[in-house]
A = this chain, B = another copy of it.
């Protein structure tokens, strides 16, 4: 008789895994908080380790059958977890730095992925058979290249400080976003391409598609951001209910992502630019309490999604089914894993240092704040060595059918991906804080303070973007000083005219404070 409310929990098998995941997420938060001041560990490492422990416990409870309670689905990842992370990235990014370094970011994020993919594809194609690991097709080698070219920069961003190293932070951060988009787009391109007939025409077409995709996705995101800002400004929802303006912002952001996917564009880019536009205009059109709420809502959703992903990776590491299914000797598996890590190191070095030099050459003006020193380049190189959720998601998409595979070669690649993600996140992540402290010694001060959403709550509560406003107007004044300088520094010129245009036409329509006019 006590059993009469059994229905929900027992008819719907999702209840148990959701409960377990939510409980472990809570544990992660508490432990992450307690380890906050530790100089080695960061949030991702904590989550992976806790996930590993939880996986072990579940493995024992299941009597060695399986360590995971939720099958990994790219659907869950691409529909629910990735959009809030990327939107929050756009919403909280310091726009001035991002746009000033736009060219360098695009170099790293687009050209870099192409270079890295080529090197990893060629290297694994050449080396894997020598290690006794056969069975991958040409398309799969190309997929491996993109899978291991998508970086996870969350770890590094938790260590780099936006205020202390604005240049590095914006480069690493911006590259991370563009890189995510590029690798997903490239991965999908490889699924459709006729591998046997790659020539210069198809390559050109590929590049054309990329430009089309980047521009339309960006335009869609900008449109969504502007529409949201305009409707919030004209309707002024806050008059009746702050709840509506919050809901509109959240729903429109999500809609932009989904619509981009429906229109075969890159949802990641769309939602990123939607976030930028929303924080630039829409954010100023809502009530005071909604401003505070949106900033924290988005940061929280992003944080929970990230933690969830790392937790999952940790939990899935002990997936015995896949380990047993690989049929490779431990030696071969370790050799292929070592090869992949080596190729990742080389592939990244192959574009970071040349492209940094190229970027320094492009910006070779006496009064540019500072060029990318060798130390900076090493940090950028290191920051992109971690592999994360996007790699896992792409690997599952390539080598499994809804998370299940019975093929030993596919199982080996999944296992390899998981080991690479674990290794790079744990080992490289572990060394990141000491490395940055060693290379950029000014970081010694104030290590307890961290990136987005984790500053002293009073400080950043009300004025998240004013620092940007202030520095922008300083730049304008500086820019006005000499016309020759304006001609020499195209980025500043663009920025100056953009500010003028923004103040005169955009802000009156879409909202936001008008910065002090350059005339006075």
Contacts and interface: CB of A to CB of B under 8 A. Distances in A.
A15 B231 contact: no
Interface residues of A, number: 86
A422 to B, nearest CB: 24
A232 to B, nearest CB: 10
A209 B4 CA distance: 9
Contacts of A453: 241-243
Contacts of A209: 1-2, 4
A189 interface: yes
Given A5-B188, A293-B296, A300-B250, A262 B19 contact: yes
A75 interface: yes
Given A29-B248, A293-B293, A258 B18 contact: yes
Nearest to A252: B26
Contacts of A293: 292-293, 296-297
A261 B192 contact: no
Contact of A5 (B19, B213, B252): B213
Interface string A283-314: 00001111011001101100110000000000
Interface stretch (A96-104, A263-271, A354-362): A263-271
Give the most central of A7, A30, A75, A205: most B CB within 10 Å.
A7
Contact of A33 (B18, B19, B188, B240): B240
B458 A288 contact: yes
Contacts of A6: 188, 264
A463 interface: no
A520 to B, nearest CB: 32
Nearest to A298: B243
Contacts of A304: 247, 250-251
B19 A255 contact: yes
A239 to B, nearest CB: 8
B246 A296 contact: yes
A404 interface: no
Given A1-B192, A4-B192, A192-B3, A75 B14 contact: yes
A323 interface: no
A36 B265 contact: no
B251 A25 contact: yes
Nearest to A402: B11
A335 to B, nearest CB: 32
Given A1-B205, A262-B19, A457-B238, A246 B12 contact: no
A210 to B, nearest CB: 10
Interface string A186-217: 00110111000000000001100100110000
Given A33-B235, A242-B457, A251 B292 contact: no
Interface string A5-34: 111110010111011001101100110111
A79 interface: yes
A14 B453 CA distance: 32
Contacts of A242: 296, 299, 453-454, 457
A461 interface: yes
Give the most central of A34, A78, A212: most B CB within 10 Å.
A78
Interface in A400-443: none
A492 interface: no
A107 interface: no
Given A6-B264, A240-B36, A450-B241, A12 B79 contact: yes
A207 B7 CA distance: 19
Contacts of A2: 209, 212, 264
Nearest to A37: B240
B303 A247 contact: yes
Contacts of A14: 75, 79
A441 B457 CA distance: 46
A254 interface: yes
A165 interface: no
Contacts of A287: 457-458
For the complex of A and B, the 10 pairs showing the least CB-CB separation, nearest first, are A241-B454, A287-B457, A19-B258, A293-B296, A4-B192, A243-B453, A36-B240, A289-B461, A246-B300, A4-B189
13 contacts: A4-B264, A9-B261, A15-B79, A15-B261, A19-B259, A22-B251, A29-B237, A30-B235, A33-B241, A238-B457, A242-B457, A243-B299, A293-B296
